[in-house]
Copies of this chain bind each other. A is one copy, B any other.
Amino acid sequence: MRIGIVGYGKMGRLFRECLSGEHEVRVYSQHERMDFSSLRELYSWAEIIVLASSLSILPHQLKELSTLSKELGGTKVIFDIATFKADIVGLYRHFPREVKVASVHPMFGPGTASLRGRRFIVVPVPGREEDSKVVGELIKSLGGKVEFLEARTHDRIMGFVIGVPYFLGLSYLALSIERGLGRFGGTSHAFLETYGKAVLNDSPDFVEEVLKRSRGEIEEFLQFLREGKPNPSKLRKRLSEEEIKKAYERFYRALE
């Protein structure tokens, strides 16, 4: 398939790398001259368009693509890979029917080695739910695992599974730096601090955006923390010995 990638940040690069083996992949970037000099050129060439741009540029590019699709026609599949969806999905409403659209969230970062077996959440565009099935099938054909979530539910869950971890990792890192804990820390400390540092591999703007949009869920988690300390015996009953053993092995693997 001819896959056009819009945006050449860390995720754009990752998608190009992972998809180039089996597909023809070309890139358009606003910031540097890649394979095309305009979105129009990319649109004319591509069968599939993946928008890997930042949340600030994405709305403009979606509007331009929507206009281009009416002018130039053609059967395409178009989806973005932004982290938050509630402000995005509405922008897909006015694409012509022959263009299949959805918003997609890859649940991994640029450190992954392959798309195979990785999880993608597909967020349907309201009124175009059928399109999201086409997009889901396409992602499966690229090796991904697919879940479907409505935009607001998606954003709320992301607050919990990205926003809260980011917040905890960075807060623990800040505490560690402030109090000079590094000298005395053992494996638990190293694991959490490693995570805090890994979060900073994302751009500060992106991290700020995640924290801002997850404010509600972070507040809920803080409330959860205040309500009582965790009960290890109760938690243990919810997990198999095997699960705990494997987690412990993975934990040490990160520290080697």
With an 8 Å Cβ cutoff, the count of chain A residues facing the other chain is 80
The answer on a CB contact under 8 Å between B230 and A173 is yes
CB of A161 within 8 A of chain B? yes
The answer on a CB contact under 8 Å between B188 and A251 is no
Chain A, residues 204-217, CB within 8 Å of chain B (1/0): the string is: 10011001000000
Give, as a whole number of angstroms, the nearest-CB distance from A2 to chain B: 28
| Given known A-B contacts A172-B168, A230-B174, A251-B254, A239 and B187 have beta carbons under 8 A apart | no
Oligomer: number of copies: 2
The answer on a CB contact under 8 Å between A149 and B230 is no
Give, as a whole number of angstroms, the nearest-CB distance from A125 to chain B: 19
The answer on a CB contact under 8 Å between B222 and A226 is yes
Which of A111, A185, A211, A247 has the most chain B CB atoms closer than 10 A to its own CB?
A: A247
Chain B residues lying within 8 Å of A128, measured Cβ to Cβ, are none
Docked pose: A166 CA to B172 CA in angstroms: 12
The answer on a CB contact under 8 Å between B187 and A232 is no
User: Which of A24-32, A43-51, A59-67, A195-203 binds B?
Assistant: A195-203
Chain A, residues 227-256, CB within 8 Å of chain B (1/0): the string is: 001111101101100011101111111111
Chain B residues lying within 8 Å of A238, measured Cβ to Cβ, are 177
The answer on a CB contact under 8 Å between B181 and A157 is yes
CB of A133 within 8 A of chain B? no
Q: Which residues of A contact B (CB under 8 A)?
A: 106-109, 111-112, 119, 121, 147, 149, 157, 160-162, 164-177, 179, 181, 183-189, 191-201, 204, 207-208, 211, 218, 221-222, 224-226, 229-233, 235-236, 238-239, 243-245, 247-256
Which of A188, A235, A239 has the most chain B CB atoms closer than 10 A to its own CB?
A: A188
Which of A164, A173, A224 has the most chain B CB atoms closer than 10 A to its own CB?
A: A164
Docked pose: A256 CA to B118 CA in angstroms: 11
Docked pose: A100 CA to B80 CA in angstroms: 66
The answer on a CB contact under 8 Å between A225 and B224 is no
Chain B residues lying within 8 Å of A245, measured Cβ to Cβ, are 201
Chain B residues lying within 8 Å of A149, measured Cβ to Cβ, are 184
The answer on a CB contact under 8 Å between B229 and A167 is yes
Chain B residues lying within 8 Å of A225, measured Cβ to Cβ, are 167, 171, 222
| Given known A-B contacts A244-B198, A244-B201, A249 and B111 have beta carbons under 8 A apart | yes
Docked pose: A210 CA to B204 CA in angstroms: 34
